[in-house]
Structure 1
Amino acid sequence: MKGPVAAPPAARRTLVVFVVAITALDLALGLTGPPTTGWAGPYAGVALQVVSTLSLLVLYRWPGVVTGVVVAVAVLMALSDAFAPGLFVPVEQLSPLTVPRAVPAVLVFLVFAAPRREWIAVTAVLTVLAARPWSPAWDLTPLGLLATLVPALGAAYVDARRRLLQSLRERAERAEREQHLLAEQARADERRRLAADMHDVVTHRISLIVLHAGALETSAAPDVRSAAGDIRSAGTQALTELRDLVGVLRTESEGTGPAPERAGGAREAGDPAEPARESAAAGLPVDLDVEGSPDALAPTVARTAYRVVQEALTNVRKHAPGARTGVCLRYGPDRVEIRVVNAAAPSGPDPSLAATGSGSGLAGLEQRVGLVGGTLRHGPTPDGGFSVDARLPAFVPTTPGTG
């Protein structure tokens, strides 16, 4: 470990207090106890202790240097004890000591700040130097282990617990964020569903009301024509407001595809031919051609087919009123084919109904068809009309592992 380590002011103050206290202890024991007797002089031992302790003042700035100083002092003490008794460690000590008193502080610091391999290696070296396994003694070996192994293991336990609590806290925060995102996604999906249903269902019904009111306005008695005009005006205003509301609810992305469903969907979702019958009853010339039965369709597919026919006829009423329209439904064992095509309009678009369009009906229809694995094509015809063609599977495609 070479670079400086950031530390809060409280930790630095605690380290300074520790250094002052240990330095005072070093001086007190070294100056009042037996001196060293080697060539280095009577104060060699206390000098080494004080140097190693004072080096702790720069532990956060140069941790590698301080660790090297403490290990070097421990090695000198071990060599003196083995080969030159009394040189750096008095033969008789007031306080039995085999490593510098700064060792516990260095080891605790390394456990929290250094990589695991580094602090384990330093702890192993200092533990061997402190325990003196080559000449064990009952009064030195336990103290050596107490000064090295115990602080390191205690700090490792505290650090592991701190990391565990931090991990649990991060997991809880991540789970809370994910829960929030899931709730947001659920709300977005519900808004999309509401927007689609309002556009497909409510718009269709209101446009039928406007169409009926228009027919009454041109053929009924004067007093009825006035009421029909009011109904038509209110209906067109409702369509305009509905367009704005759908625009607010609609979002850019679509949710995931629907889950697999059982057959018999037309009974639950509505017969896809029903919008054609309703439009014919309202005065739109519609030719309905149905082959097969919709009972084999899954509910989601039947509902999508219903929306295709509904949206196509709504557009005819808006943009080509009075145009003869053909609705063709072909139900097969594995798919349904839909074609809605209208001839050129005998007159221009109905200004009241055309102004209420949001311009997103066919785009939303393409997304709805794509969600069930179908395809949709639409565009003008050579004779000036417009066609909408859809092909849908009888069942929504499933993916492996889908329940």
Structure 2
Amino acid sequence: MAIEDRVLELESIATVELAVWAGMTGALAVLCLVAMADCLVQRTVASVRGLAFLIMMGGGVIALSGFPEQLFPELDNANYLPLKVAIGPLSAALALRYLGVWLGTEREDALTRWTVQVACVVLVLLSVATFFAARRFEPHNVLMSAGGIYLAMVGVAMFISARAAALGDSLARWMVLACVFLWLAVMGLVAKSIELPGLGLMTWVLTAFATVAYFLIVIALTIQRTREMRRLQLLAKGVVAQDFNIPMPQGSQLIPRVADVMWRSQRMERPCVVAAIAVRNLYELADELGHGVEIEILAVLAARIRRHVGFRNVVGLYHPRCFVLAVSSGQDPRRGELFVQSLLTSIRSSVRVGPPDQRFDFWPAVGMGVVQVEHSPMEALAAIDRAEQLAIEDLHIEDLLSRPLDMDSVPQVR
């Protein structure tokens, strides 16, 4: 009787464990269906990227859980194991690539760009290596090696997310939390795949919970970043809603934010750029459209600046006619000149403002002053004031260059 009771207990545990993995698989399948519907409706690169991420990462997680073997015992392990261990590094490479795109630091931070590129190449090569190794070596050893690869990938993802958070990206800190859940999930899934003794049902429940939590956090962060980018894109084009205010520090609130960027730059021994953008003709259309149109203009200009600077760096309004931005130490210094030129080109393009039945073209007359703070200490207020002074001087130079020559004032040579 004792043996039969033990057999029944083990069968009951196996049934509950199967239900746990089935629930996790069902949750991931629902997320994939939602992403597929979004892809069919939106038809954007971001939606296709999200669907590919869910299919690849979700497939790798389900394969590691052992659910397919439990559901289909007739699976040939000799043919299934190579696919099982190869899909993990391949999906990890895809996830890291998309993480770099989502953070936006890959094009600005040389260390992040190098880390992501090298890690993706290594993961693809390891995917091929594990595929062939699974046909020659013991399954336990291959799964152990694959588990080490997965944990290393999570470490790289956590590093670049933490770096982006340290450089000022407010959403990146939540990505670090997602990486913690991913680490817990990978630990549990690897333990399940190598059949590590001493782990019970509660471990698998926590593993399934951590897996679903990771995907939910990533999806939520992706939606939030996409919504922010979409709103900035519309504002930058002049398509504004009634609440076209962009949250940003103003006046004295801007000084500690700039000081924080300068402190991070000095700590990392990299230069910091503090720039001011002065708008001379902000109130030019006040007579035609009334006071308040300047808020609409500032919203469009702020969106254009934010799109160029990114979410990690500081953009603020020092006073109504002067924007101030501070580019963090993570910015690639080689891009400085091109960055300034492209930013000025974007800002100086026309802005359509006013009610729908009375639209006006506003051409911003702007000047830009740039202060590069090296390793020597400098007060944030002094850097802001100096950048504003240079921006005003730039406006005066533009006025002189654009002013027609008065022939009466030219001395005559007899």
Same fold (TM over 0.5): no
**TM-score bin (small chain):** under 0.3
The structure whose RCO (Cα within 8 Å, separation 6+) is larger is: 2
Q: Which protein is richer in helix relative to its size? A: 2
> Based on CA coordinates, which of the two structures has the bigger radius of gyration?
1
The TM-score, its normalising length taken from structure 1, stands at 0.25
Using structure 2 for the length normalisation, give the TM-score: 0.24
